[in-house]
Amino acid sequence: MRGKAVIAGVGHTAFGKLPGRSTVSMNVEACRKALEDANIPKDRVDAVFVKTPSSARELMYGQKLTEALGIQPKMNFALDQGGAANISLISIAIMAIDAGQIDVALVCYADNPRSGDRAIYSRPRGDDAAYGWFSTAAGYAMIHQRYLIEHGARPEHFGAVAVACRKHGAANPNAQVRKAITMDQYMASPWVVDPLRRDDCCLVSDGGAAIVIMSAKRARELGVDKPVSILGFGHGNTGWEVPLRPELTSTLAKTAAKTAFAMAGLGPKDIDVAELYDCFTITPLMTLEDYGFCKPGQAGPFVSDGCIEIGGDLPLNTSGGLLSETGMPGMQLTIEAVRQLRGVAVTQVKGAKVALVSNQGGTMHTHATLILGN
């Protein structure tokens, strides 16, 4: 299936605080912009796949969205899979196109935890709340701590990810936070849940993002400008809650990457730019290892010395990622990869031909990988 489907258009709302906007409204704005970018009318869309909003659960969400979009597509569903859902939905769209079920798909996501309800991020974790076990961050902190134990990593290794993402976000006019930080500022940032510092943690953001998927053939017929080719995708599910995992410092992101690389016929050395899900700094460090960019325990040294900054060997999260552009879970990473391959990114990586995107969700429960080329 390598190269048979393309991303034909991308669109997103402003990122940050958008009070008064419903998630449906933000999805509609993002979809409208993605359709305008692809230069196709909405009545060509025969599938709408949407990631369910995390902060405000609604039944039959996909159907509410198509009502607001004024279309009655062949396929329409909402996926609850955490932050891996966007790439999963892209994959499902490609397979449905390949199976002749649909022609053009909109894949989208919106949420408003910043101006709306963000209780989910500080939630009690079942009966373990009796031991004070609360919040999303704490689960990642538990993995982060085990990584420190097993690999003797230094705080500066995590800091290097934060510094790079904040530097890239500072250059991005659409970023929610445009304030670069130094390593000293990272080290001085207060604990959220030790060993997580504030600057290890992604933003909480309102916003929406959407992309248009179609076959490469249909994109040629419709005269789509600068379609970006989908070379590979893959999935993996660690699935179990953190305390039940036999291993904490590696996940089934390995399987997602292996599948995507095999489909693309490529390996880590072929990647020009990487957009790795950075909900917390431990996540891209482990992703670099699980994806084969470096050996287990070596991600810390790998990200040091500017390697992951623009001009380095592997520019990472070139629009700021979840740490700086928007805390929205994942779609913006694919959109930035598209900009890089179209050659229109603010922090353009010279000659970028192949981009890799990782998505993951829960507390590293779900994993999905996307490889794009131009």
Measured over the CA atoms of residue 58, residue 29, residue 93 and residue 341, the dihedral's sign is negative
364 lies in the binding site for another protein (CB under 8 A): no
Instruction: Output 80 or 191, the one with its CB closest to another protein.
Output: 191
Instruction: Output 149 or 262, the one with its CB closest to another protein.
Output: 149
Angle at 157 between CA 194 and CA 291, to 5 degrees: 105
Measured over the CA atoms of residue 321, residue 326, residue 327 and residue 331, the dihedral's sign is negative
Contact stretch for another protein (CB under 8 A) within 24-32, 71-79, 117-125, 222-230: 117-125
Spatial distance between the Cα atoms of 245 and 270, rounded to a whole number of angstroms: 32
122 lies in the binding site for another protein (CB under 8 A): yes
Angle at 81 between CA 207 and CA 166, to 5 degrees: 45
Contact stretch for another protein (CB under 8 A) within 70-78, 191-199, 259-267, 305-313: 191-199
Shortest Cβ 282–another protein spacing (Å): 12
Q: CB of 270 within 8 A of CB of 126?
A: no
Please return the burial class of 216, using the count of CB atoms within 10 Å of its CB with bins 0-12, 13-18 and 19+: middle
Instruction: Output 12 or 125, the one with its CB closest to another protein.
Output: 125
Contact stretch for another protein (CB under 8 A) within 124-132, 217-225, 253-261, 291-299: 124-132
DSSP track, 106-132: EEEEEE-TTTS--GGGG-B-GGGGGGT
Measured over the CA atoms of residue 109, residue 113, residue 114 and residue 117, the dihedral's sign is positive
Find the binder of another protein among 125, 166, 167, 365 (CB under 8 A). 125
Instruction: Output 64 or 146, the one with its CB closest to another protein.
Output: 146
189 lies in the binding site for another protein (CB under 8 A): no
Find the binder of another protein among 60, 120, 149, 188 (CB under 8 A). 149
Q: Is 159 helix (H, G, I), strand (E, B) or coil?
A: helix
> Which residue, 86, 118, 370, 127, is CA-closest to 241?
127
Strands 207-215 and 104-111 come out as antiparallel
Instruction: Output 150 or 270, the one with its CB closest to another protein.
Output: 150
Shortest Cβ 249–another protein spacing (Å): 10
DSSP track, 275-313: EE--SBTHHHHHHHHHTTSS-TT-HHHHHTTTTTSTTSS
362 lies in the binding site for another protein (CB under 8 A): no
Shortest Cβ 84–another protein spacing (Å): 22
142 lies in the binding site for another protein (CB under 8 A): yes
Instruction: Output 59 or 130, the one with its CB closest to another protein.
Output: 130
| Amino acid, single-letter form, for residue 146 | R
Shortest Cβ 363–another protein spacing (Å): 12
Shortest Cβ 242–another protein spacing (Å): 7
| CA distances to 159, 199, 308, 341 from 214, in Å | 39, 38, 32, 17
Find the binder of another protein among 19, 99, 131, 223 (CB under 8 A). 131
Of residues 228-267, those binding another protein (CB under 8 A): 242-244, 248
Shortest Cβ 149–another protein spacing (Å): 3
Say which residue the tokens 């500080």 belong to: 122
Shortest Cβ 289–another protein spacing (Å): 17
Say which residue the tokens 């409204």 belong to: 25
> Which residue, 195, 82, 94, 75, is CA-closest to 141?
195
Contact stretch for another protein (CB under 8 A) within 127-135, 230-238, 268-276, 299-307: 127-135
145 lies in the binding site for another protein (CB under 8 A): yes
Spatial distance between the Cα atoms of 193 and 138, rounded to a whole number of angstroms: 6
Find the binder of another protein among 43, 67, 117, 128 (CB under 8 A). 128
77 lies in the binding site for another protein (CB under 8 A): no
Residues found near another protein in the complex (CB under 8 A): 122, 124-125, 127-135, 138, 141-143, 145-146, 149-150, 190-196, 242-244, 248
